[in-house]
Amino acid sequence: MESVPAHDDSNTISFVILPPEADHGTEGQTQAAGLFCDLLAERLSKVPGFAVVDRSRLDRILAERAIDGPGQPPLLSYDAMVRVRPEGPTEDPTVSVEVVDLSLGNLAASGKWKWRPGGDAAVSKAADLCASTRHMLTMGSGNRVKIRVLNVTAVDRVARLEPLGQRLLATLQETLARSPRVRLVHHLEAATAKEESLLLMMGLSRLPEGRTFSPQADATLQFRLGEKQAVGKTFEDTVIELAFRLDRAGVSGQWLAVTDKVSQWDELVSAAWARLSGELSSLDPGAAKAALQEMAIRRRQAQAELAKFDDWEKLYFPPPERQRRWQAAVTAAKLDPTNEMAAFYSVVLNPKHPYGGSYRTGQHIAERRQFLEGGLVYLRRFPQNAKRRAGMARMMWNSSTFSVSAGFGRRSICQFEQDDVIVRLAEELLNIYLADSLIEMNDWGPFTSGLILALYDAKRKDGMPKDQARNWMEQTDQRAWPLFRAWAKTQAHRREEVLWRYQSDFALQALRDNEPDRLRSVLKRILEEPTPKHGLTDMREMEERLRQRGEDELLERLQQWSRGERDRRDGQSQIAVRPLAVGWPVGRPLSDKPRRIAPTCLNWTRPNGKGASQRVPLVPLAVADGRLYVLFDEGLRNVLMTPASNTQVDVELRLGCVSLDASGAPAGDVQILAKPPLTRKTVPHAACLLRGRLYIGTEHSGILAYDVKAGTWKRYGTQEGLPDWNVGKLFVLDGRTLLCLSRGKNLEQIAFTLDVESESVKLLHRIKRDRPVPLFLTSGIWRDGDKVRALSYSYFLADILTPQPVVRPWPSAMPHKWPAPEGAPRRLQMAVVEDRRFVLAASGLYEIDVKANAVRTWLLNTHGVIRSSSRSLLYPRHEIQTVPVWSEIPGTIPGAPDSRCSIVAANENYMLLFITKPDACILYEPRKDRWHGPVTFSIRGVQHPPEAIATDKGFVFGGETLQYVSIADMIAPDGASDNAITSEQYRRRLKDVAKNLSELDKAKMAFAEQDFARSEAMLKGILKQDATNAEAMYLLGLMHHPACRNQPEVALEWFDRLAKMDDPSAALTGSLMRYYLEVDLQQWQEARDTGNRILSAYKLDEFINTHFRQVHAKIVKKAAAAVKQPAPAASNR
């Protein structure tokens, strides 16, 4: 057995000289570095009191322990290890040496010198450096207690507690360093495989982060922060709990806690330290107070260093300025290690690194390592700034990878630099990337599969066994695929192609690895996704490889899928058929076509970076001081003000303004204002104007406030007390207070207020995700005495300011006698005009009182007879035959012929509604109960209601063309009765129209009025004369649906009768209605059988086919789960 230096003499220090870390492929540097290690070991072995294990001896020790086989060999003990790294170009080489204390994980000393083979000066300096650490390495003996501090955990992942956790860690490190009887243990990160083997051989504990180890400690400290009394308090007055646990000698201690306000943070930490020092006598009770005082001074000094420069948001600066900014950031980071901005710019502005981290292939390996290591330190320590985290990760990918062309018609292949350190650091970056929701996928989402496979290839080339590398790849794919699929579905263009590219990468890798089972698994996942509408990259290569392998069945299925023919089955009767379209009675139009008006238009163009100009989509926000303020994207993409983040990609927001003329119309060009302080690309959710400031709620940047007079920005984030960075809704409560609603990381619904005068935040309540109220979809609030009532999604909140607001579904009893909740709408819109509240739901328009009781109703159309959750399962559509001007169902909104109606904007006197088919607007004047319109003009944005705001004299519509429509132009001229009518006049006119309808249309009118008895008598009379009338059978079945009369047995009889008809459309309708009704009744086996019959008998319409298969797949799983839970009698057989 190879001898190992023993610690017989307490003054003997044992060193392990590790093999050199050389650049991959540089054979001369590797040999020179090895010679340097040998000379350094020889020089140290001659120093009295030093025992040295050189690299050849270390290889023999590791080999002998591998020969010993299974069992628990005795652990070895060394004091320090020496890392040697050759750096610099071959013509001017340098060598760096690091001495690492293995008992504490600390870097004891480091140095760098120029050195060539044959030189002796660098070796002597390195030996002197190692010898100088003797005193530090012997300090561990005696009565000093070694303590290891774990990360601080924020209870419930409260975002605004994370900065406090960073401050706590820095305070603990500073305080422990001041305690003479305590030694702080740091984590060790193995740089090479042999270094990892050495640490394992010494018995160090491996941490979950891969090659990270922890030296043995006498005690372990754990901390956690949580809010105790936050509701109804500002952030400074919020009572938080700082809990800690001290584990010693393998025995877990008890959690101890201290509580205080956030404003008393220093006192809270001092109290915790005092209790901790009572638990561990080695701690100095007064060290915390001294450390906190010094850190406060250093924090102010660091902020002063950064304040020397303005506009830190961008990353590119001229070389001289970049050097000065980098030096300021480095100084600030040394003064205050908790300063996130200083830590970020001290890495990315380093003059050694190119802008964006883009190196040339195969060069500057040492600089790449340094950049990756610094970036990982930043990502581990600072989780709160999403924009900088995303930028750091993007530059780190650039510095570690390069692309290789795969040939014409194929995508480039991503590869990593063949350096084990770079590959290891890139793997850790990938783990952070997949686990961190703050790092956005927009910049490198399409390359996720390429990064995983590039790491897989690098591991294989590094000697990892194939099975081990494959298991790593499959486990990483299982983590990445759900995240990637969710991201891909938020993309506006070519979602199917993005999903195909991800899966095709893994399928081709399975073909290259000759693994048919994994290939079938990947192809199965491919065939479950929709077929891309455009060309499929890599399809030709995949077909060739499948053909060469003789996988004819897989090849045929893939080709059918690529042609969109997945529904083709041998022996099936394929009938191109759609469900029955029920036509509703059409009344006599009051005019031939809607009145057309000419709006005032503003087209603003900017260079698009491709040598041309492009129109910029604008979103109007507010009018202040005679100017209209608009939002736009720096990348010229469309911007939507939406409370949900899954409807558009994040954008780089900018603010502009345009002057208004005397008529209220925009005049002149758009003036670009100061750049907002975004934390990252974001989605705007809401905006409001208060006290001369424009407040914008965003997805990732909290609340952005723009002072319209001073022209300056201020950002409110978690450091200012916001409970979360995501702010979905903003409402003005009074002259100084904003009501803010958001959705947190755990999908909890958060309500808080922001006092814009004192800039204090007060948390109202945090509703857990198991509650049904999505506060971020709140459509309106109003005061009722000292209470603030609200409508959110489809719920009514009795007082949104209370900690536990009373919630009830909207409405509790619908005025038109539809049962609730079946007839209740899903998402509500609200407008206040002349202190009257109007609510637009899926079933109609309502006017409500202060208690949210409907006092007046305008029924929209018959879509309200089926609850929305059922319609999402593709009930046959009620396709209303539209007319140019007016709708035809009694009691409907005048001029709204379809259910796609939305409240666009409202001012003090008018409410504007937007309708589709045709795209037009209706103006309602509540004071006179008078409807004006519809009026049409070139409205952009039919997929979503157009972004618009109301001014005193008109309405401003956003889009590629900013359009202003004055109220005077929308109001019908005197005597033009065709475009202006009251609700009562309209109802009387429709009754006159109904007198001349056919018997079937009269039955439909009675059905629309919910007069089921009269409608049923008419429909049965029609069937006596014509037993094959499909619409009559359909309506009779629908009439007994649970959403109407709630007689499902009778409804199923009529749907079965309809399904037996010879007309394919009628038969499909009957089968679909039976299927969906069985789903509503939770008859899973029956619904599964009905769905299978539909799929085997019909080739469905493309839209219905996609959604029906998704629904049916879930039903099949539920049916299988129901079979697995038999009754007790069945289980005894």
Segment among 611-620, 697-706, 1093-1102 with least mean pLDDT: 1093-1102
Question: Looking at this protein, which amino acid is placed at residue 11?
Answer: N
Same domain for 346 and 482, yes or no, is yes
- Residue 788 within a domain: no
For the chain, what is the domain count? 5
For position 842, what pLDDT does the model report?
Answer: 64
For position 682, what pLDDT does the model report?
Answer: 82
Same domain for 504 and 400, yes or no, is yes
For position 630, what pLDDT does the model report?
Answer: 94
For position 1019, what pLDDT does the model report?
Answer: 93
**Is residue 510 within 8 Å of residue 523, measured between CB atoms?**
no
- Residue 900 within a domain: no
pLDDT-based confidence at residue 692 (cuts at 50, 70, 90): very high
Same domain for 230 and 320, yes or no, is no
- Residue 523 within a domain: no
**Three-state helix/strand/coil letters over 1007-1035:** HHCCCHHHHHHHHHHHHHHCCCCHHHHHH
Same domain for 344 and 486, yes or no, is yes
For position 888, what pLDDT does the model report?
Answer: 30
Same domain for 353 and 494, yes or no, is yes
Segment among 134-138, 235-239, 471-475 with least mean pLDDT: 134-138
pLDDT in tens, 88-120: 655 667 788 888 888 888 788 888 888 777 777
For position 911, what pLDDT does the model report?
Answer: 93
pLDDT at 77 over 70: yes
pLDDT in tens, 883-895: 222 223 333 344 4
pLDDT-based confidence at residue 6 (cuts at 50, 70, 90): very low
For position 752, what pLDDT does the model report?
Answer: 93
Same domain for 291 and 324, yes or no, is no
**Is residue 453 within 8 Å of residue 505, measured between CB atoms?**
yes
pLDDT in tens, 932-951: 877 887 765 444 567 889 99
pLDDT-based confidence at residue 997 (cuts at 50, 70, 90): confident
Rounded average pLDDT over 965-989: 75
For position 218, what pLDDT does the model report?
Answer: 80
Of 1090, 1069, 1068, nearest to 1079 (Cα)? 1090
Instruction: Take residue 873 and report the two structure tokens written for it.
Output: 């399962």
pLDDT in tens, 545-589: 777 777 777 777 777 666 654 444 333 345 567 777 666 665 443
pLDDT in tens, 1034-1083: 889 888 887 678 888 999 999 999 999 988 888 888 888 899 889 888 89
Proportion of the chain above pLDDT 90, given as a percent: 13
Same domain for 250 and 321, yes or no, is no
- Residue 544 within a domain: no
For position 525, what pLDDT does the model report?
Answer: 76
pTM value is: 0.61
pLDDT-based confidence at residue 748 (cuts at 50, 70, 90): confident
Phi, psi of 535 (to 5 degrees): -60, 145
pLDDT-based confidence at residue 815 (cuts at 50, 70, 90): very low
Beta bridge partners of 931: 924, 981
pLDDT in tens, 316-370: 777 778 888 888 998 998 888 888 888 888 888 887 777 655 555 555 677 777 8
Q: Quick count: other Cβ atoms within 10 Å of Cβ 17?
A: 26
CA distance 844 to 838: 11
For position 754, what pLDDT does the model report?
Answer: 94
pLDDT in tens, 518-540: 877 887 777 777 666 555 556 66
What CATH number did the domain enclosing 747 receive?
A: 2.120.10.80
pLDDT-based confidence at residue 898 (cuts at 50, 70, 90): very low
Range of the domain at 71: 13-138
Same domain for 334 and 450, yes or no, is yes
Rounded average pLDDT over 868-885: 27
pLDDT in tens, 404-432: 433 333 444 556 555 666 777 777 777 77
Name the residue with higher pLDDT: 501 or 303: 303
Of 211, 186, 216, 184, nearest to 196 (Cα)? 211
For position 733, what pLDDT does the model report?
Answer: 92
Same domain for 335 and 466, yes or no, is yes
pLDDT at 607 over 80: yes
Where a domain ends, among 495, 514, 533?
514
For the chain, what is the mean pLDDT? Answer: 76
pLDDT-based confidence at residue 22 (cuts at 50, 70, 90): low
Give the Å distances, CA to CA, from 982 to 81, 591, 956, 987. Answer: 89, 16, 26, 9
Where a domain ends, among 514, 547, 573?
514
Same domain for 218 and 78, yes or no, is no
Where a domain ends, among 514, 537, 565?
514
For position 401, what pLDDT does the model report?
Answer: 63
For position 959, what pLDDT does the model report?
Answer: 84
- Residue 388 within a domain: yes
What CATH number did the domain enclosing 1039 receive?
A: 1.25.40.10
Same domain for 266 and 334, yes or no, is no
For position 210, what pLDDT does the model report?
Answer: 59
